[in-house]
Structure 1
Amino acid sequence: MQGSKILIVDESDIARTQLEQGLSDAGAVVQTAASAHDALALLPRWPADLVVSGLPWEVGSMALCAGIRAAARPPAFMMLSPRPAAPVAGDGHDGGPRRAEGAALPAAVVQAHEALGLSAAGARRSSPPVPDVLRFHGMLGCGTDMRALIERLVRAARVDVPVLLSGPSGTGKELAARAIHGESARRKGPFVAVNCGGVPESLWESEFFGYTAGAFSGANRSREGLFAAAHGGTLFLDEIGEMPLVAQAKLLRALEGGWMRPVGAVREHQVDVRIVAATHRNLALAAARGRFRDDLLYRLDVLTVSLPGLAGRCDDITVLARHFLRACHTEMGSAVDGFETEALHVLHGYAFPGNVRELRNIVQSAAAFARGPRIGVWDLPERVCRPDGRAQGPVACATPPDQAGTSDLVTLEECKRAYVHEVLRRVRGNKRAAARILGIERRTLYRWLTPS
């Protein structure tokens, strides 16, 4: 027990004092809180080894247990009950709380502490390993998808051949391209990026290959193109699926031997460039429909790396959200220092059609409009609070009702949760006011807010 950090959560001043004195006498370092909200606010700053809750289950301990489950390093959790029960304890994430007797509470906590296998230094011997946050050339995450992606990028970087990055918009394809460049033998050379969809067809040749003085009206001096600028390094062709067919034919010639001719020049020049291309489209399907050249696809599709979407990657969502919030401190001067547990649950359930880019925008918006020191559900954009991830409000029907289908309809349970979150947003997180508006008891509201 010596040196273990224990957080006591109880509405009763007498109970908190009794436990604090008894556990301090046993050698523990003790902190106290009067509510689940105060305890969850304290835990990030004071990571406890064991949380002891004397709050009723449905009006405090349930929310506290849910918050502990969502923590990066969840402490052990023990719940005290006034009704007789064996003094046992359990992890805050192993399926529910355990209960202890109301009498001789400090002794019961000591017994539970020993049953959990907490060491003298305060570390739980049986705690599951927590994945480390991976940082890789600006990319961030901790889930298995991110680990697999980083491994694949490292392998692709070792081979000096074209790489095709595929995945939905907003997944960080340019960061992946920079990572390949940074891990390759060309890392000391230039990295040049261009959005192929942003280059008009009439300017494509001069933009990529450059031009000589006098090549056309207004060309008063020569200008090197993107291929020459990337000589010895990497040229990143973003959204290559948007490139016009005429430009694709000219690009193919440059890829095959590195030969290019600036506009107005007589002779070709050879450049040494590695190509990394990216697209959110299915290029094989585009080629089958005649919108993308087969021979260019075969030339580009030597190594393919697919970037996963963000939806469902709960560990990565939490890590990235906290990273973007820290960036808000510097970029926006925001004083918001964290997320309410319920807000993280909502983010975990959102579809993220815009992926990482959209998450960054959501965090920036929430930090700007936050009403307190932590981002709550009521601070998130309305579209995020719908369980299906679609924008809130009436659905516009562009087709007759008998042809509209049912794909946009949601379950009654999803409607209920969406409405509950909307009520919470409007009352700024005041659960007492929300319960009154909904016509339910507060403990029922807590039960609805706790993920099943």
Structure 2
Amino acid sequence: MPHVLIVDDELNIRRVLAAMLKREGYEVTTAADGEQALAVLQKTPVHVVVTDLVMPRMSGLVLLERAQAEFPDVPVIMITAHGTVDSAVQALKAGAFDYITKPFEQEELKKVIAKAARAHELERQNVHAAAAPLVGASPSMRQVYEIVAKVADSPSTVLITGESGTGKELVAREIHRRSSRRDKPLIKVNCAAIPKDLVESELFGYEKGAFTGAVGSKPGRFELADGGTLFLDEIGEIPVEMQVKLLRALQESEFERVGGIRTLKVDVRLIAATNRDLKALIADGRFREDLYYRLAVVPVGLPPLRDRKDDIPLLVEHFIAKYDQRLGKKVERVDDEALQTLLAYGWPGNIRELENLMERSVLFADGPVIEGASLPDALRERTPGAATPIAAVGPLGAIAAPSGASMKEIVRQAQAELEKELIGRALEETGGNVTRAAKRLQISRKSLQVKMKELGLRGGEGEE
């Protein structure tokens, strides 16, 4: 169950919100100010932060800025009084996931937190993607760089396509960074994280009284991105009935809030991304052809890692440096056997899978060199040129998946295998001591115990 951190200087509010969320099944931690909140974030895995805007010692905006820099995968929800709504909108432009105003309905807060938790679940494989650079010198990546350089400062809509884990969000951020809009907001929307009945209000905002629970007006993501860039990730998940409204907003640069009659005009550069085959969705009647051509003014196709293996040594070097710093290690390189194994593997999870593997390898490395023998057996068993059936491979290599299993089922099983191996090794190396294993894995003892129960693992005698 997701772990929510509540940050508010008023004790009663912390107690009320904690009790409400615990009834919903959430794990809850509270903090009285931003400094306490950062201390919690540094020690405990948190999925969602709910923070007051105005607090002593460290305001909600400063906390948001620090969280964005240090924990960019954790959604931050702002709670604000009506008189400071402008500051809340400023927070959204600075990267806050959402905001609600006092007094608020408990159901409204529950929905926003549930949406944020779902977004975190979808994004959790992309930890620190915001700070990661594009890495690669292969011909296919040089072609991507050339396209980015040519279109970055134009107003043209860009459609980024590629398999999951190929770095589509990084390309979107690089386009924004190189444009003249770089000092304006880059607003990201994960379309897969939004319930279908909320997509319109999420994109275009709503007026007071537009629907039950709309106790005030609220700007949508198009308004927040005015003058900047709007990145619609997983664009293939937009409901068909919403696609015509999105098309009009793109063509006319105007729209109305839900429940509103005033037409709003904005200056927004749109970038969309998908790992779906939009032309197949068009054939099935699930995606509008006119919207597709409006989005794909500039198509950017990202190659899978298996088609750019020349970049693997550069990526390995980059991830070793990244996780050396984050984990306090002093790993310098991989040995020749390990590099050959990495080059021979099919990488169905693309760069994301390679990054996860390198984080694990750096974490458990006993010296300055990652040896081939330390790589997972399933990875080392892959032979050069061997086909890698996507339905049978996860982050650890060959995963026995039921015939006809969906991608979600395969990913879920692969994740469970990876977690089981990491936890099993941590327990082995700490003599079965759950507390020490949790510290080694940098998760809370309670979270580790829950995972051990889920995976059928047991600690030794020294669990205290």
Shorter-chain TM band: 0.5 to 0.7
Change beyond 3 A, Cα 1:322–1:394? closer
Aligned residue runs from structure 1 range 186-205, under 5 A: 186-205=181-200
2:291 to 290, 296, 306: 296
| Code of the aligned partner of 1:327 | K
Q: Distance in 1 between matches of 2:315 and 2:262?
A: 50
The structure having more radius of gyration, on CA atoms, is 1
CA–CA separation in structure 1 for the residues paired with 2:265 and 2:369: 56
User: For the residues of structure 2 that align with 1:278 and 1:194, how far apart are their CA atoms?
Assistant: 11
Q: CA deviation at 1:165?
A: 0.7
Q: Which amino acid aligns with 1:329?
A: D
Aligned-pair CA distance for 1:234: 0.8
Give the 3 Å change call, closer, same or farther, for CA 392–153 of structure 1 in structure 2.
closer
Match 1:341 to one of 336, 343, 348: 336
Report deviation, 1:332: 1.4
Structural mapping, 1:28-427, within 5 Å = 138-385=133-380, 386-387=382-383, 388=386, 389=388, 390=393, 395=400, 398=403
TM-score (norm 2): 0.54
Change beyond 3 A, Cα 1:314–1:294: closer
Partners of 1:348 and 1:223 in 2: how far apart?
A: 50
How far is the alpha carbon of 1:372 from its aligned partner?
A: 3.2
Shift of 1:238: 0.7
User: Structure 1 CA distance, aligned partners of 2:398 and 2:191?
Assistant: 36
User: Normalised by the size of structure 1, how large is the TM-score?
Assistant: 0.55
In 1, the alpha carbon distance for the partners of 2:144 and 2:301 equals 8
Q: Which has the higher helix share?
A: 2
Q: 1:342 & 1:318 partners in 2: Cα distance?
A: 13
1:193-214 CA-partner distances (Å, limit 9, x unpaired): 1111111111111111111223
What is the rounded CA distance, in whole Å, between the counterparts of 2:399 and 2:359 in structure 1? 26
Q: Report the 3-state secondary structure (helix = DSSP H, G, I; strand = E; otherwise coil) of the residue aligned with 2:272.
A: strand
Residue 167 of structure 1 deviates from its aligned partner by: 1.1
Poorly superposed stretches of 4+, deviation over 6 Å: none
Partners of 1:365 and 1:381 within 8 A in 2: no
Question: How far apart are residue 232 of structure 1 and its match?
Answer: 0.5
| CA shift digits 1:159-213 (9 cap, x unpaired) | 3111111111111111111111122232222111111111111111111111122
Identity of aligned residues (%): 45
Tell me if the contact between 1:337 and 1:374 (Cα under 8 Å) persists in the aligned partners.
Answer: yes
The residue type equivalent to 2:238 in the other structure is: M
Q: Which residue identity lines up with residue 281 of structure 2 in the other structure?
A: A
SS at match of 1:224: coil
**What SS class does the counterpart of residue 368 from structure 1 fall into?**
helix
Q: Is the 8 A contact 1:193 1:238 kept in 2?
A: yes
Structure-2 change in CA distance of 1:383 and 1:242 (3 Å): farther
Question: 1:37 maps to what in 2?
Answer: none
Amino acid at match of 2:309: C
Q: 1:141 to 1:397 in 2, by over 3 A?
A: closer
Structure 2 distance, partners of 1:394, 1:279, is 25
Alignment CA distance shift 1:160-1:381 (3 Å): same
Cα drift, residue 328 of structure 1? 0.9
Deviation at 1:269, TM superposition (A): 0.6
* 1:190 partner amino acid: P
Supply the distance in 1 between the matched residues of 2:223 and 2:269 (Cα, whole angstroms).
Answer: 12
Report deviation, 1:322.
1.1
Cα deviation, 1:282-311, whole Å, max 9, x if unaligned, reads: 211210121111111121111111111111
Cα distance, 1:249 vs structure 2: 1.9
Alignment-mate amino acid for residue 272 of structure 2: A
Aligned length: 265
Which segments of 5 or more consecutive residues in structure 2 lack a partner in the other structure? 1-130, 405-464
> SS state of the match for residue 231, structure 2?
strand
The answer to whether the 8 A contact 2:379-2:398 is kept is no
CA distance, structure 1, for counterparts of residue 223 and residue 156 of structure 2: 18
One-letter amino acid of the counterpart of residue 202, structure 2 = E
C-alpha RMSD of the superposition: 2.2
Superposed displacement of residue 137, structure 1 = 8.0
Tell me how far apart the structure 2 counterparts of residues 394 and 269 of structure 1 sit (CA, whole Å).
Answer: 51
Distance verdict in 2 for CA 1:290–1:349, change over 3 Å: same
CA distance in 2, matches of 1:282, 1:327: 33
**Residue 311 of structure 1: SS of its match in structure 2?**
helix
Q: Contact 1:137/1:182 (CA < 8 Å) preserved in 2? A: no
Deviations 1:410-432 (A, max 9, x none): xxxxxxxxxxxxxxxxxxxxxxx
Indicate conservation of the 8 Å contact 1:163/1:301, yes or no: yes
CA distance in structure 2 between the aligned counterparts of 1:245 and 1:288, rounded to whole angstroms:
13
Point out the more displaced range, 387-396 or 375-384. 387-396
Instruction: State the one-letter code of the partner of 2:245.
Output: K
Is the CA contact (8 Å cut-off) linking 1:365 and 1:380 kept in structure 2?
A: no
SS in structure 1 opposite 2:135? strand
Whole-angstrom CA distance in 1 between matches of 2:402 and 2:207: 55
Give the drift of 1:139. Answer: 0.8
Distance 1:153 1:236 in 2: 15
